[in-house]
């Protein structure tokens, strides 16, 4: 069952249910996705054309409960990646990051490529490696748009997921927030402290979603 959150249709699944069912093109929206989708119609259509749209952000998950459209649980991209099994290709991150991620995963990684290059050439390398799963960490919305446009060109894939900054966390390049901050939905604050240059994106995502919720509540009174 999909739940409509400001025009983005999110699958209401637990992590276990997602691991059993996901296939094809998978997106992992958090607050910033929802806010961007209000202005970027192409991006919203791509999110809604995905085979599965899973609630990645704890902040977004909390907001769905406030809207009385509760999603069962947030699905962390990092945790999802660690639970995937199959032949995986890693695409994204700065040079060397994907190779470090490969060392951390308990499954077969058949290829890696960093994200700062001619992505048309990467498709040939992916097809040569014949992975079942492609994880793309190019940042949003670039990764979602790239998967949407190119998935059909990679016939061996049964699953392709845009994973954002997950490679940085898994590789150790960026330290993940302490568990207590993750639980209360403040992982964004931790990342802002470590990467202050993200302030504009964080403000637009977190407070933009909050404003959408407040505006909706006021309208419905």
Q: What is the pLDDT of residues 162-180, one digit of tens each?
A: 999 899 999 988 887 788 7
CA distance 190 to 146: 28
Which ranges of the chain have pLDDT less than 70? 188-189, 197-200, 202-203, 205-206, 217-221
On whether both 112 and 150 belong to a single domain, the answer is yes
Residues 6+ away with beta carbon under 8 Å from 109: 88, 89, 90, 101, 102
* Cα separation values, 206 from 44, 159, 212, Å: 18, 29, 10
pLDDT at 218: 59
Domains held by the chain: number: 2
What is the span of the domain harbouring residue 137? 86-171
pTM listed for this prediction: 0.89
Rounded Cα gap, residues 19 and 46, in angstroms? 22
Residue 217 in any domain: the answer is no
Same domain, 187 and 141: no
Residues 127 and 201 in one domain: no
Per-residue model confidence (pLDDT) at position 221: 62
């Amino acid at each position: 069952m999909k739940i409509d959150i400001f025009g983005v249709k999110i699958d209401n699944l637990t992590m276990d249910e997602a691991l059993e069912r996901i296939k094809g093109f998978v997106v992992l929206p958090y607050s910033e996705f929802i806010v961007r989708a209000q202005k970027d119609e192409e991006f919203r259509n791509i999110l809604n054309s995905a085979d599965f749209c899973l609630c990645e952000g704890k902040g977004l998950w909390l907001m769905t409960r406030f809207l009385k459209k509760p999603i069962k649980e947030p699905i962390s991209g990092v945790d999802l990646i660690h639970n995937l099994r199959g032949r995986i290709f890693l695409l994204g991150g700065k040079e060397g990051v994907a190779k470090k991620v490969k060392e951390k995963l308990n499954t077969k990684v058949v290829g890696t490529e960093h994200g700062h290059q001619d992505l048309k050439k990467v498709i040939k390398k992916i097809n040569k490696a014949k992975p079942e799963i492609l994880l793309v960490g190019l940042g949003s919305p670039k990764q979602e748009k790239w998967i949407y446009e190119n998935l059909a060109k990679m016939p061996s894939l049964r699953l392709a997921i845009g994973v954002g900054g997950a490679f940085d966390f898994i590789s150790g390049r960026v330290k993940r927030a302490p568990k207590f901050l993750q639980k209360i939905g403040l992982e964004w604050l931790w990342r802002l402290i470590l990467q202050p240059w993200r302030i504009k994106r964080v403000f637009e995502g977190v407070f933009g979603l909050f404003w959408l919720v407040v505006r909706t509540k006021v309208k419905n009174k």
